[in-house]
Amino acid sequence: MENIALIDSFSEFKDDKLIDRVTLMAILEDVFRSALKKKFGDDDNFDIIINPDKGDLEIWRNRVVVADGEVEDSNQEISLAEARKIEPDFEVGEDVSEEVKLIDLGRRSILALRQNLIAKIHEHDNTNIYKQFKELEGDIYTAEVHHIRHRAVILLDDEGNEVVLPKDKQIPADFFRKGENVRGVIEAVELKGNKPSIIMSRTSPLFLEKLFESEIPEVFDGLITIKKVVRIPGEKAKVAVDSYDDRIDPVGACVGMKGSRIHGIVRELGNENIDVINYTNNVQLYITRALSPAKVTSVKLDEENKRAQVILRPEEVSKAIGRGGYNIRLAGQLTGYEIDVYREGVEEDVELTEFSDEIDSWIIEEFAKIGLDTAKSILEHDPKDLVKRTDLEEETINEVVRILKSEFED
């Protein structure tokens, strides 16, 4: 294969991959030098001249003329007799430049050249893709479902780049069909070997924050600031918002008339229940708002230990805790305080942890998950209801109730 024919066959990569001229020349030279080093042991004495636009390639080997029979390094030196076959007037000590044809490298070397070039261009592409998506980390991205696997959905964007949506980054209610578009936030971009790994998430709080930015003009324009987002994906979320313009109602602007503005976001998240809350530096008021829709009677803070004792009327307690304990858990995450719920009018109560010598810690933790961390908060519930709301057996709950009742009877 002539030099020009080989370059012609390589030029397709420039068109297909849109590689700039300088980069293509650097990749080509690197590939040819690797081949020369393999063939001759060294490439320092070779000049490579490439013009990919015209398809020109020249390789010149530079050697020093030595007396016949004194050649020690055939790559660096040439005998006087061999040199005079090139030019009859060469003398010992002079430099000889001789063109090397690619065909002289052998068919295997030429095939290896092509394979090496493909690998180098793929590596170049992967590096560019990595840089491109690294800059998109934290942004919303849309791609099409290409393949559905047990542990992940494989997506392809318009340029054919592969984006992975792992199972644990999907909202529980998500159901995908091949060919449909999926939105998520680019959560992580890593290079695994030479291949970029692009991870999308739909469960990240950042996804909800970015949806607010894209769907609500005042958030996009910076008139409303999102202070914090907490989520239990597919179930419930709380978003604290603020505005430095007193004329703007941040909650009203985000929710819209009859929920018109937030409805699209809720639908995107599989009907996730979203509470939008006015942020405030007043921690007591912030906790009160965070426990919405429950109406709080009073809040007592232990700022050193980041705990809050919240007093509510008995009929408000279940609202504060919420289904599955989601409301109180998210309120705690939003405010940064461990929230303890107490019923108004109940003066004597005992923390459940006080019974750790009789009740296993894992059982206490199960009750805490649904917002029940005092003796009376448990005794006020029907044991059958507690069985439904926890992962505890009825026998275990009955034993806990017996222990707690004996405390108050004593």
- Amino acid sitting at position 148: I
The first and second tokens of residue 20, run together, are 């700039």
Instruction: With both helix axes pointing from N to C terminus, report the angle between 283-290 and 326-335 in degrees, rounded to the nearest 10.
Output: 150
Q: Which residues pair with 124 in a beta bridge?
A: none
User: What is the C-alpha to C-alpha distance for residues 373 and 367, in angstroms, rounded to an integer?
Assistant: 6
pLDDT given at position 254: 94
Per-residue pLDDT of the chain (410 residues; tens, 9 = 90+): 444 445 555 555 544 455 666 666 777 777 788 878 877 888 888 888 777 656 567 888 899 888 988 888 888 888 888 888 888 888 888 888 888 877 666 666 666 666 766 676 677 677 778 888 899 999 999 999 999 998 999 999 988 889 999 999 999 999 999 999 999 999 999 887 778 899 999 999 999 999 999 999 999 999 999 999 999 999 999 999 999 888 999 999 999 888 889 999 999 999 999 999 999 999 999 999 999 999 999 999 989 999 999 988 878 888 898 888 899 999 999 999 999 888 776 556 778 887 888 899 899 988 888 888 888 888 888 888 888 888 889 999 999 998 888 876 65
Q: Where do the DSSP E strands lie in 33-139?
A: 46-51, 56-66, 77-79, 95-99
pLDDT given at position 345: 65
**H/E element holding 195?**
strand 195-201
pLDDT given at position 2: 47
What pTM, to 2 d.p., does this model score?
0.63
Q: φ, ψ for residue 212 (rounded to 5)?
A: -60, -40
136-202 CATH, one of 3.40.50.620, 3.40.50.2300, 2.40.50.140, 2.40.128.260 = 2.40.50.140
- Comparing CA positions, the residue from 86, 81, 27 lying closest to residue 60 is 86
pLDDT given at position 13: 52
User: What is the C-alpha to C-alpha distance for residues 25 and 89, in angstroms, rounded to an integer?
Assistant: 35
Contact 403, 364 (CB under 8 A): no
3-123 CATH, one of 3.30.2000, 3.30.1480, 3.30.110, 1.10.8 = 3.30.1480
Contact 35, 120 (CB under 8 A): no
Contact 120, 23 (CB under 8 A): no
User: What is the C-alpha to C-alpha distance for residues 200 and 156, in angstroms, rounded to an integer?
Assistant: 12
User: What is the C-alpha to C-alpha distance for residues 363 and 180, in angstroms, rounded to an integer?
Assistant: 44
Domain map of the chain by residue range? 3-123, 136-202, 204-279
Topology (CATH level 3) of domain 204-279: GMP Synthetase; Chain A, domain 3 (3.30.300)
Angstrom CA distances, 371 to 250, 276, 327, 386, 394, stand at 29, 22, 9, 12, 19
Q: Is the peptide bond before 293 cis (omega within 30 degrees of 0)?
A: yes
